[in-house]
Amino acid sequence: MAERYVLLGLAQARADWFRTIGTWATSAMLPCEFVRCVSIDELRARLRSGRAFSAVVVDGSLPGVDRDLIALAAEMSVSVLVIDEQERRDWRELGVAAVMATRFSRDELLEVLAATSVPVGSATYDATPIDAGALGARGRLVAVTGPGGTGASTVAIALAQGLAAGDGELARRRSSSRRLLGVRSPEVLLADLCRTADQAMLHDSRVVVPSIQEVVEAHRTATPPRSSLLDQTFEVPARGYRLLLGLRRPRHWVALRARALESTLDSLQRLADMVVADIDPDLEGESETGSTDVEERNLLARATVARADLVVVVGEPSMKGLFALVRTIDEVVGFGVRAERVLPVINHAPRGPRARAELTRGLSALVSFSLGTAAAGLVSPLYVTDRSVDDALRDGVALPGSMARMLARGVAAVLDRAGPAERPGASDPERIVPGSLSAFTTQEHPNP
């Protein structure tokens, strides 16, 4: 037969439907080749082998059947058919092509294959996964990073406090528009997405669970409802925002999955008007280092910067601090962020205008030398002076209002000028205007 279905199968031991499909395939009752797998790892390896497959038929009760596996199959243009009698999960939301009961006939299977899969050797089939995130407008995402010891985590706290107080005009407008839509959500969420997470210490958190680990794990097999996601965060009433704690140990990055993290970030943006993410400055990936381990180790920072509307880079006013600031800006722009979406912040800055002007000239000269024409559009740095920040953190009270206000207004101004960031392959759902589909109505074709 010139064309036939090539199926990958994985099920619990002695599953009746698994044996039945194999019998149909070997007896030519079904125009297909059935390749049996014994584990999730073998299934992933066969999908990546380069061979053409029509569909994956998998037992829905297996623990390894998650968002990453389904997305991997979609990348290879392979549809996923789940056998699940009880429908334990919302498989459609995860991107599954069809869900079938454990007892089905040959004709039913052929009908599902004809509707969802393509025989090997026929025309190419576009199986682009559907973005089925929770409905609702996405909030803005601001990433805050900087070399170690510059106070980037403290700047993230001050920024979240200022945005929560409504000091950013953009944040106020977004909050008002969401309330008009009937969406009740926190205005600002501070998410600790550093590999070495310090926000629990800075907020004197007596508990470390739940954290980003539990939230990402929940997104492996489903998209949690808004109320459940809100329960994973902590309210910080003294500063007006909510907090999502970070990894409990730096080594726990190995538990994070790429597509589950992407879905998590999308849910966080739909939860809050403004998401302030405290991240590490390490953005190296496989293309720079030749190591997938390095890319996965830096997954939190890379995934956040890839979708951030603005990246705030924090540095210090010393010679070493200015050099490290420029180096971090160079890495952020080299990652793919346009210079107009980068805001330099110099922490512990001098108060004198002459010293600040000298720092601005030095930063401009170093950035121009490092980035060349890519430096066009980079804004002048914000200067944050020394204040009683440590005392406020120790006492659990609000940080100095002038510091929070200046950061929020500066970020809102840059966001207003740059506009929302575009994420390739993803878009918010749009309402269909009545009459806009008239071009797709059936028209009479002229006689040949």
Domain ranges for the chain: 5-116, 140-418
Write down the pLDDT at residue 207.
87
**DSSP symbol at 121:** T
pLDDT tens for 8-43 read: 999 998 899 999 999 999 998 999 999 999 999 999
Give the global pTM.
0.79
d(CA 187, CA 302): 24
Round the average pLDDT of the chain to a whole number and report it. Answer: 87
342: alpha, beta or left? (left if phi > 0; alpha if psi -120 to 50): beta
Q: So what CATH class is 5-116?
A: alpha beta
pLDDT of residue 114 exceeding 80: yes
pLDDT for res 128? 36
Specify the pLDDT at position 407.
96
Q: Indicate whether 427 pLDDT > 80.
A: no
Give the tokens for residue 113. Answer: 């294959």
Please check whether the two domains, 5-116 and 140-418, share a CATH topology.
Answer: yes
Average pLDDT over residues 134-156: 88
Q: pLDDT band for position 437 (50/70/90)?
A: low
Task: Kindly provide the b/e burial profile for residues 40-76, where b requires at least 16 CB atoms within 10 angstroms of the residue's own CB.
Answer: beebbebbeeeeebbbbbbbbebeebbbbbbbbbbeb
Strands 234-236 and 241-244: antiparallel
Q: What span, in angstroms and rounded, lies between the C-alpha atoms of 67 and 18? A: 22
Token pair 């601090």: residue? 321
How does pLDDT run across 305-322, given as a tens digit for each residue?
Answer: 999 999 999 999 999 999
Confidence of residue 438 (pLDDT cuts 50, 70, 90): low
Beta partners for residue 192, in sequence order: 278
* Structure tokens given for 53: 């497959």
* Confidence band for 244, pLDDT divided at 50, 70 and 90: very high
pLDDT value at position 246?
97
- The CATH class for the domain spanning 140-418 reads alpha beta
Report the candidate in 141, 164, 234 with the shortest Cα–Cα distance to residue 401. Answer: 164
